[in-house]
Structure 1
Amino acid sequence: MDTLYPNLYDRFKTEGLCPICLMEMELTPRYSCINGHTVCHRCKPYYYGCPTCKAPLNVEILPLQTDAPPPTHYMPHPLPPRSYDVHSPSAPSMNDFLDREKRAWEPSVPSENQQLESCSYSHLGCWVKIPEHLRVLHESRCQFRPHLEEEHMPTDLHHGHEDLVECTYTAAGCRVRTVPWRRSIHEKFCIYKDKFEAVNDISDGLASATIADNDYGGDPDELVQCKFERYGCMVRMPRRRKYMHEEKCNYKSHQGDGNDEFFVYPAQPELDPDEQVECRWSVNGCRVRPKRYRAQIHEDKCNYRMEECAYKYYGCSVMFMPARKYAHESTCEYAN
């Protein structure tokens, strides 16, 4: 594990964090095995041996601060068994509950043949093995969980700005910056992955296509009209982007199977491609005024861009920032 994830393992050691519950353990006793794997006093009672190498956790490391208060076990105390003959409300009174929580308590000693299960995110790199009753605690704070960048928790590790790298799908609009060892995890679940791959497919098709139409030849930077201009498209793009635009043009669906030469369309007004226009997302705070021929490019990557919910056809009308897409759609009332 040290060789596979040296950065994360060193962070746990240098910052004094327990790899199970991710809480600090510098001011409380902690326990280590002969291989240097450490757990805090809160998690140690739940393990018969080291969760990493199964060696005994028989090395106690006391805190440097000698006048620190005695450690307190923060796990919920189990309620005493109740007799079925007692016909009273099942919940204890508030005072009884608080008194019970203040008493010293330790969980039962685990057996030698204790069963430890792998974290649900082991396929993403997590090496921690946990007993079943600690699963929810660990997995809710696991540093390998997906969408950690969008849903931060106080127990998450903090990284310096210089340690962060950009997502591969930055060109498609992703603004997430994460540490190198989490980059592959984020990219598996990145909401811009499909968009990036779709653009790549179009680019590959453009590169492999044999274009015989003279309309695509000439100066690649010359501004030209879309071939769907007659249907209402007023976009002017560099010639090199003409094919890519026409493949995605919103007016492509208006093209009929019949011969359009029989129809006369009114001439469209000539618009200055260098005229500065307002961004579509100016109502959300964008103050950029791109040139008309670059307006669409800017709006696709605008920091103020909003997205619609995937369940909009089921009735959801919420608009949100792209980074909030997963957080909203996972709890959308129209998802079912």
Structure 2
Amino acid sequence: MSGDQELKSGKVPMYIRDCVEALTTSEDWEYWEAALRALERLVFRNPAATREVSVELAKVLLHLEEKTSVVGFEGLRQRALVAVTVTDPARVAEYLTSQFYAINYSLRQRMDILDVLALAAQELSRPGRLWRAPQCGSPGPTCQPGCTVAPTWRAVVDERIRRKTRRFSKGSPKRRPAGSPNGFNSVAGYFFFPLIKGFDRPLVTFDLLGDDQLVLGRLAHTLGVLMYLAVNTTVAVPMGKALLEFVWALRFHGDTYVRRGLLSAVSSVLLSVPGERLWEDLPDELLEARLWLADVAEKDPDEDCRMLAVKALLLLEKLKDKLLPLPSP
């Protein structure tokens, strides 16, 4: 159903609560689809009303199943869930992270939770973010359901590594004008700590250290994203310490995707925690990480893992050269 057809039909919910009711009880599939398509726009236009039902709405969307052949269903559901999380980040993140380790969820739902948390954190951290109404109609051929319009975080991290190592070699950068507040700063802990604390406790239907290594890999990548986006936050140091402990516990994992996530996470720590705090608060962790990274760079069978280890080593060495005084001749 196109956006024009929605408007002509008159079956477009006008309020958040109408959408919740439609998605949970309506047997009018045209109205059900209209509610799903309208939801993201209504959430951003009515933040106060959204906060009144944010956790309930997040629960509905997390469990929502496609009832008709809706073009782009997964993308619509994900964008609505991201919008709710951005609008009420602390409470919705607390709910989503609690469900990640709950029983009776599919692996797909657990990975959906990780994707939504990462996308919402990206949106919250974007300076001067302004919501733009989504275009109506079916997604084009270049926009598949569930795709993101933001650049992949790996590409962003690579660019920041390049810029940061270049700055280290040229001295301190010039001060830039202060930008808009980072909306992720005050809620980073709600996204990060509940996710990292339960990875080694197997459930009846879910075992990250056993058969569910695909989700473990996604978790490692997501934690790295959250760490990267928490640059200069008040919780960056404890986040970095917890993430390095997570990496250390899993550093010899046999799955390539997991190891790539762990290596990317190390770079995120080095990029986001102030260098002075790293050397003051985490000297032992950095020494252990350096030895491990050197071993990975030389011996890991996966080319991407070796490359990621080299990038992290480069960051670490440049940081050390910048902060530690040269020995006296």
| TM range, smaller chain | under 0.3
Larger strand percent: 1
Q: So what's the TM-score if we normalise by structure 2?
A: 0.23
Q: So what's the TM-score if we normalise by structure 1?
A: 0.22
Higher relative contact order (CA 8 A, sep 6+): 2
Larger helix percent: 2
